[in-house]
């Protein structure tokens, strides 16, 4: 049976709400958790966001001890998993890269008395669950702003890998752009890497040379924002949207907004359930967190607490979409998404070859969102295979 993806989390965790121990008993139990990252913790992107959450919870939860490893090659994750489980005797390991999935599953089979959580995966074991905080709603909102601000009608996207997560975000961005600027196009440059500042700079400059005057991205540095700022200061304005972490300091005159992620509440929910006994080595095979703006992990902003750079409020208020300004439409959509009254992936939606993918009023299911491998109308090119 298909379920609304925004209710998925409650469906699978509803039976786990009752704690297996009393608060007094739980306080006596110490928990040790490990995080394994694919990029450096200072990358200002995906890994940085997870690391901030780890630090927050290490300071907040007196019963929690944490360790981490950074810049771990995906092919070597098995070695780090074994080190934490065998040598450091951790209770739960969080593996924070799609490419860590097979290694995580293998470790779960090898160490059935330990718990594992894989970020963004779909494979599972009784002692291995999956979790994700997604940004497609915030990419849609950034698309609304990019579509309202672009002068050329061409906006760019620097993408890491052609996996469903990234394709979903490109499509959401394009749906937002086209909602306010139906003739605008989204052009994509692929890095085939999560962390490569040199390639990111090359891709951003190539998109600008092609006429793109607004840039979004999925990669783990602030490079795209820095390039946009450089061009803006030279008299060729390029709008940018930061990714995962606040990046206004790198582009005060170019960053309009961005997709910010606070993993803290999601990790706290998982760890608290482990600590109280609600999650165990025997019931993780059906645990799939998929949290969005409603759950408080995803938000827009140049920094936390500033959803839109004040420099761009006036032009967004002046850009009308029907009888509402682009500025007001952004906040209207935020309220509607949190109230489950609007979702960007609601039909009619065609792919960029003209085929109808979602009928009028039809919303994409979680499975469709997490397996998407096609571009919507307005995105140039094809998804690499």
Higher pLDDT, 94 or 18: 94
Residue 46 binned pLDDT confidence (cut-offs 50, 70, 90) = confident
Give me the chain's average pLDDT, please: 92
pLDDT digits (tens, 9 = 90+) for 166-208: 999 999 999 999 999 999 999 999 999 988 999 999 999 999 9
CA distances from 6 to 34, 134, 170, 341 (A): 28, 11, 19, 11
Give start-end residues of each CATH 3.40.50.2300 domain in the chain: 5-133+263-276, 136-260+309-370
pLDDT, position 10: 34
245 and 49 in contact (C-beta within 8 Å)?
A: yes
pLDDT, position 242: 94
Q: Which of 6-15, 101-110, 134-143 has the lowest mean pLDDT?
A: 6-15
pLDDT, position 122: 86
The residues pairing with 125 across neighbouring beta strands, listed in sequence order, are 128
pLDDT, position 28: 60
Three state DSSP letters for 337-357: HHCCCCCCCECCEEECCCCEE
**Nearest residue to 142 via CA among 223, 216, 233:** 216
pLDDT, position 44: 80
- Calculate mean pLDDT across residues 214-219: 96
Higher pLDDT, 77 or 12: 77
Q: What CATH fold (topology level) applies to the domain 136-260+309-370?
A: Rossmann fold (3.40.50)
> Can you tell me whether residue 365 is helix, strand or coil?
coil
- 5-133+263-276 CATH pick, 3.40.50.300, 3.30.540.10, 3.30.565.10, 3.40.50.2300: 3.40.50.2300
pLDDT, position 17: 32
- CA dist., res. 80 & res. 98, Å (int): 16
Q: Cα dihedral angle (327, 333, 335, 337), rounded to 10 degrees?
A: -150
Residue 26 binned pLDDT confidence (cut-offs 50, 70, 90) = very low
The answer to whether residue 2 scores a pLDDT higher than 60 is no
- Calculate mean pLDDT across residues 252-270: 97
The answer to whether residue 25 scores a pLDDT higher than 70 is no
- Calculate mean pLDDT across residues 359-370: 94
pTM of the entire predicted model: 0.87
- Calculate mean pLDDT across residues 351-361: 98
The answer to whether residue 382 scores a pLDDT higher than 70 is yes
pLDDT digits (tens, 9 = 90+) for 119-131: 988 899 999 999 9
User: Two tokens at 77?
Assistant: 């994750």
């Amino acid at each position: 049976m298909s379920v609304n993806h925004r209710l998925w989390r409650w469906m699978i965790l509803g039976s786990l709400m009752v704690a297996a121990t009393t608060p007094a008993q739980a306080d006596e139990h110490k928990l040790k958790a490990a995080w394994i990252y694919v990029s450096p913790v200072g990358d200002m992107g995906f890994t940085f966001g997870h690391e901030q959450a780890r630090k927050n919870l290490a300071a907040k939860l007196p019963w929690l001890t944490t360790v981490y490893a950074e810049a771990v090659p995906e092919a070597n994750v098995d070695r780090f998993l074994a080190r934490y489980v065998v040598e450091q005797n951790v209770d739960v390991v969080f593996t924070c890269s799609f490419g860590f999935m097979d290694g995580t599953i293998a470790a779960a089979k090898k160490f059935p008395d330990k718990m594992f959580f894989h970020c963004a995966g779909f494979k599972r074991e009784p002692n291995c669950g999956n979790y994700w905080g997604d940004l497609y709603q915030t990419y849609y909102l950034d698309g609304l702003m990019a579509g309202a601000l672009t002068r050329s009608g061409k906006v760019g996207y620097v993408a890491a890998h052609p996996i469903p997560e990234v394709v979903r975000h490109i499509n959401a961005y394009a749906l937002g752009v086209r909602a306010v600027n139906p003739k605008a196009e989204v052009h994509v440059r692929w890095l085939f890497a999560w962390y490569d500042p040199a390639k990111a700079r090359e891709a951003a400059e190539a998109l600008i040379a092609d006429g793109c005057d607004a840039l979004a991205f999925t990669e783990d540095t602030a490079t795209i924002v820095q390039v946009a700022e450089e061009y803006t200061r030279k008299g060729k304005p390029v709008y940018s949207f930061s990714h995962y972490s606040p990046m206004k300091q790198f582009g005060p005159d170019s960053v309009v907004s961005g997709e910010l992620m606070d993993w803290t509440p999601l990790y706290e929910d998982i760890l608290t359930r482990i600590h109280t006994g609600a999650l165990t080595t025997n019931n993780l095979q059906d645990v799939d967190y998929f949290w969005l703006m409603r759950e408080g992990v995803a938000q827009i902003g140049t920094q936390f607490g500033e959803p839109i750079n004040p420099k761009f409020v006036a032009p967004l208020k002046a850009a009308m979409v029907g009888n509402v300004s682009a500025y007001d439409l952004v906040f209207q959509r935020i309220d509607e998404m949190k109230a489950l009254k609007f979702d960007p992936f609601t039909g009619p939606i065609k792919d960029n070859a003209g085929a109808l993918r979602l009928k009028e009023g039809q919303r994409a299911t979680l499975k469709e969102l997490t397996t998407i491998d096609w571009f919507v109308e307005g995105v140039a090119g094809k998804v690499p295979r």
